[in-house]
Amino acid sequence: MKTKASIISSAKETIKLEGESILNLSTLIDNDFADAVELIYNSKGRVIITGIGKSAIIATKIVATLNSTGTPAVFMHAADAIHGDLGLILQDDVVICISKSGNTPEIKVLVPLIKNAKNKMIAITGNKDSFLGQQADYILNAFVQKEACPNNLAPTTSTTAQLVLGDALAVSLLELRGFSSKDFAKYHPGGALGKKLYLRVEDISSVNQKPEVTLDTNIKQVIIEISEKMLGVTAVTENNAIVGIITDGDLRRMLSKVDNFTDLTAKDIMSANPKRIEEDAMAIDAMEVLETYGISQILVEKEGKYAGVVHIHDLIREGIL
């Protein structure tokens, strides 16, 4: 039975071997890579990515990455392609074939059909001299010295290399397109990632209650306002402009220092010039302010007027934190 030490050693060796192989890929990037990127960028069609076995699984991930970064892509399994799915490929589409050896039977059948249709073809292969390498218009060299598998059989290092080349392709295209975080948000509207990119302060503050007192509001009413609005805070305003803030903490500190607070008003215990944020700012920006200053709430303004409150719990609930 293997010891924990030997298991850890095996894992580290796998990571080391794959890491070295990935670093070596940078030495294999040549004009074919740049030409392939420009081909896809200038194409009026989509990118069709195909493969067999583990390479097919890598192909689906590359398709997903391209689609999410502004390059329309479709997965086509190499085995299914020669049994009817070849109709997926349209006239202006660019085809990417992924194969470690470049000599699998399915690839040997599929490649001539793609060539006959006059579609441009990019190969991601570890064997430039293979059938696929010789037939492709451009080659992305995914050569690796050996698999991480001790028998040098199970696709491990080779599939990682394919994946990294796909990422390099996607990022190069993303940069050519000038694909921004706003563009990214259009393709990722759901989940925490999407919210970080599109959720604004107003989207949160507009559904919260709006605690507010004036400079002369007595402490009893301040306590009632904070309790009723359930945000642990109230803004102190004058002519609807923020002049201060009172938090639960301010009330506790007051109670520890003053025996008789019946004559106190908001201006006696408020903190002047509190942190605030414009309602059209991104919610992630509000989170950064809260974290930077170690506070739990931030007041929201619209054109210099008090507009509401964002609490750290709101941001946690939305998955921003």
Is 189 inside any structural domain? Answer: no
pLDDT confidence bin for 18, thresholds 50/70/90? very high
> Are 14 and 160 in a shared domain?
yes
Name, in order, each residue with C-beta under 8 angstroms of 202's C-beta and a sequence gap of 6 or more.
279, 280, 300, 302, 307
pLDDT at 188 over 80: no
Tell me how many domains the chain contains.
Answer: 2
The reported pLDDT for the residue numbered 228 is 92
> Are 249 and 280 in a shared domain?
yes
Is 17 inside any structural domain? Answer: yes
The answer to whether residues 297 and 320 touch, using CB atoms and an 8 Å cutoff, is no
Average pLDDT, stretch 247-266?
Answer: 85
> Are 104 and 243 in a shared domain?
no
CA distance readout (Å), 10 to 17, 86, 148, 150: 11, 42, 10, 10
Is 193 inside any structural domain? Answer: no
Closest CA to 178 of 36, 31, 70: 70
Say whether 214 sits in a helix, a strand or coil.
Answer: strand
* Last-in-domain residue among 132, 148, 179: 179
> Are 28 and 64 in a shared domain?
yes
> Are 243 and 284 in a shared domain?
yes
Indicate the pTM of the whole model. 0.67
The reported pLDDT for the residue numbered 195 is 64
Is 191 inside any structural domain? Answer: no
pLDDT at 186 over 70: no
pLDDT confidence bin for 53, thresholds 50/70/90? very high
CATH for 66? 3.40.50.10490
CA distance readout (Å), 168 to 53, 177, 311: 22, 14, 39
> Are 37 and 157 in a shared domain?
yes
Consult the annotation and say whether 77 binds a ligand.
yes
Is 194 inside any structural domain? Answer: no
Average pLDDT, stretch 30-54?
Answer: 96
In tens, the pLDDT along 259-274 reads: 777 789 999 999 998 9
Q: Strand (E) positions, the chain? A: 47-51, 73-77, 94-99, 121-125, 138-141, 212-214, 233-238, 241-247, 271-272, 276-278, 297-302, 305-311
CA distance readout (Å), 245 to 4, 202, 209, 236: 56, 19, 15, 5
Is 56 inside any structural domain? Answer: yes
CATH for 241? 3.10.580.10
> Are 162 and 209 in a shared domain?
no
> Are 166 and 208 in a shared domain?
no
Domain of 58?
A: 4-179
> Are 163 and 36 in a shared domain?
yes
> Are 168 and 211 in a shared domain?
no
Neighbours of 312 (CB within 10 A): 18
* Last-in-domain residue among 114, 149, 179: 179
> Are 164 and 205 in a shared domain?
no
pLDDT confidence bin for 182, thresholds 50/70/90? low
Average pLDDT, stretch 181-199?
Answer: 63
pLDDT at 27 over 90: yes
Is 299 inside any structural domain? Answer: yes
Is 187 inside any structural domain? Answer: no
> Are 174 and 208 in a shared domain?
no
The reported pLDDT for the residue numbered 191 is 56
The reported pLDDT for the residue numbered 72 is 93
The reported pLDDT for the residue numbered 25 is 95
